[in-house]
Amino acid sequence: MTYYSDMSEKILSPDAPVLGRTGSWLHRFANPGRFLRLAQPALPWLAAFSIVLTVVGIVWGYAFAPADWEQGDAARIMYVHVPAAWVAMAGYAALAVCSFFSIVWRHPLADLAAEEIGPVGAGFTFVCLVSGALWGKPMWGAYWVWDARLTSVLVLFFLYLGHIALIRAFDNRSHGYRAAAILALVGAVNLPIIVFSVQWWNTLHQGNTISVTGGSKIYITMLYPLLIASLGFYMSFLTLVTARLCAAIMERKTRALLLAAAEREA
Amino acid sequence: MNLTPFIDGSYGITVLFLIGIFVLTLNRYRSAIKRLAAVEKR
Amino acid sequence: MRTSKKRRLYLLLGCGLALSAATGLSLMAFSSTLTYFLGPREVLAKNPAPGMDFRLGGIVQVGTVNTVITNNTPTTHFRVTDGRASIPVTFTGVLPDLFREGQGVVAIGAMSPDGSFAASEVLAKHGSTYMPKDVEQSLKEAGKWDPKFGPPPDASTWNTMNVKASGS
């Protein structure tokens, strides 16, 4: 089957299934026009929820959560550092999933999503790195150390930057999509390394506080603001990517309409 | 060590990033709607 | 059509498997360099030559911290332990705020000929347990835990403790 090097003609008629010959739900959902119709009404709600949750979580952590027994007020940096780190990793996982769909099923929507996830994920990773450095200086005594956790998150940041550059590097967009998808999938091996780095090797970074399987080592009055801030960050990521994806689809549509008009005139 | 600059710095950069990216995204989203509507009207 | 998709899927899964195996093997092979510090036992086993830089990590042994101030610069002697072995450390300079007995630390430096570790830099390694100060107080008063002797007990024993938590 052929890959749509330019999907504009598909967007021109948004009701036509993008990969019409197969009728699975996935393909129907991957129709950019349908996505636009579903996502646009949800956007104001998504935005409202993300802003409220993020503001509540951040203000709670900054002003109302109790100081820590060991680190005092410096532990408040956790309420922005940890959510940013979680979103940075979840964003990369989403990028990898999109790349998988892009390579195996060649969904145009997956390519567009990958293109929009990159900058947002890189931003959250940057926030994680900077807030972590500002936490490390007063507590550890160093802004940066080359331990396994810090280094693997820095690698994540560079993977994001590489993806952002690669996906935009080709005149033929489909080449960029394919190359960037491979980079994203190869880079996904870094995700388990980040998560388990603090268990596999001696690191200056402390171990994981929140554990899915075992109990968490955090008091309930500090856990609530952390979870709310995290939910807010996750929702913000979702909102931002959805809005940018909608914008990208509309931009494609605009370009295709202009092209078609120019062709008619010629 | 005075912790305030470190805590405020972390929160500051986070809030600046969030506000910045929300505003940029909103602007892009709005202009995409506007331009599409203009082209569709022609 | 169907088969080409399936082929790509299997190809990708195969590549993923090979990549994970390769990464896992390299990580295992380099695991000694990926480790940020050595514990006292590993140091004693390796017996690094004096003057060779490495990082020593462990707990500041209770009752071994001794600071002498000469010409306005403090010199601190303490022992770093992992519970079984311990190594004496000498550091001249200001220690991080978190430094205390029972605190995790990473010291950067080299062995001296006299068998002690001369640190040029000391970093504090804090724990991953977060609790308000009054919970810590109640735990101490209840005799359940003393921060000098290791990390706090399992969270399930204190997360339900009836404490008037400030804030929140």
* Model pTM score: 0.89
- For residue A208, the chain C residues in CB contact (below 8 A) are 128
Q: How confident is the model at residue C71 (pLDDT cuts 50, 70, 90)?
A: confident
- Alpha-helical (H) ranges within C30-153 are 31-34, 40-46, 133-141
The number of domains in chain A is: 1
Q: Is residue A266 part of a domain?
A: no
CB pair distance less than 8 Å for A185 and C31: no
Nearest to A256 by CA among A14, A58, A68: A14
Is domain C36-125 annotated with CATH 2.40.50.140? yes
Q: Which residue has the higher pLDDT, C141 or A176?
A: A176
> What pLDDT score does A217 carry?
83
pLDDT in tens, A192-224: 999 999 989 889 999 888 877 766 788 888 999
CA atoms within 13 A on the CB side of C153: 16
Distance CA A22, CA A32 (A): 16
Picking from A109, A91, A89, A141, the residue whose alpha carbon sits closest to that of residue A7 is A109
Nearest-angstrom CA–CA distance, A103 and A98: 9
Q: Tell me which chain B residue has its CA closest to the CA of residue A121.
A: B21
Q: Which pLDDT band, with edges at 50, 70 and 90, does C160 fall under?
A: low
Predicted confidence (pLDDT) per residue in B17-34, tens digit: 999 999 999 999 999 999
Q: By residue range, what is the domain housing residue A250?
A: 34-62+76-207+215-257
Determine, for residues C132 and A221 on separate chains, whether the beta-carbon distance falls below 8 Å: yes
Both tokens of C38, joined, read 């050595």
Q: Which of A26-35, A161-170, A190-199, B18-27 has the lowest mean pLDDT?
A: A26-35
Spatial distance between the Cα atoms of A238 and A43, rounded to a whole number of angstroms: 10
Instruction: Measure in Å the smallest separation between the Cα of C151 and chain A Cα atoms.
Output: 11
Question: pLDDT by residue (tens digit) across A42-85?
Answer: 999 999 999 999 999 999 999 999 999 888 899 999 999 999 99
Residues above pLDDT 90, as percent of chain C: 28
Q: Which of A226, A217, A191 is nearest to A82 (CA)?
A: A226
Picking from A37, A70, A175, the residue whose alpha carbon sits closest to that of residue C145 is A70
d(CA C78, CA A91): 44
pLDDT of A98 higher than 70: yes
Give the model's pLDDT for residue C4.
83
Q: Which of A183-197, C22-36, C59-73, C126-140 has the highest mean pLDDT?
A: A183-197
- Angstrom distance (rounded) from CA A126 to CA A87: 11
Nearest by CB to C4, which of A1, A64, A222?
A1
Mark out the alpha helices in chain C (DSSP H runs): 2-29, 31-34, 40-46, 133-141, 155-158
Strands C117-125, C86-92: pairing is: parallel
Confidence of residue C135 (pLDDT cuts 50, 70, 90): confident
Which residue in A has a C-alpha nearest to residue B30's C-alpha? A247
Q: Which residues of C touch A70 (CB under 8 A)?
A: 98, 126-127, 129, 147
- B2, B11, B14, best to mutate vs chain A, most A CBs in 10 Å: B14
The model's confidence at residue C161, banded by pLDDT at 50, 70 and 90, is low
b/e for A199-232, b at 16 or more Cβ within 10 A?
ebbbbbbbebbbeeeeebbbbebbbbbbebbbbb
The DSSP string of B3-36 is -HHHHHHHHHHHHHHHHHHHHHHHHHHHHHHHHH
For residue C88, the 8-state DSSP code is E
| pLDDT (0 to 100) of residue C26 | 86
Q: How confident is the model at residue C29 (pLDDT cuts 50, 70, 90)?
A: confident
Residue A132 lies in a domain: yes
Q: Give the H/E segment covering residue C166.
A: none
State the average pLDDT over residues A153-163: 96
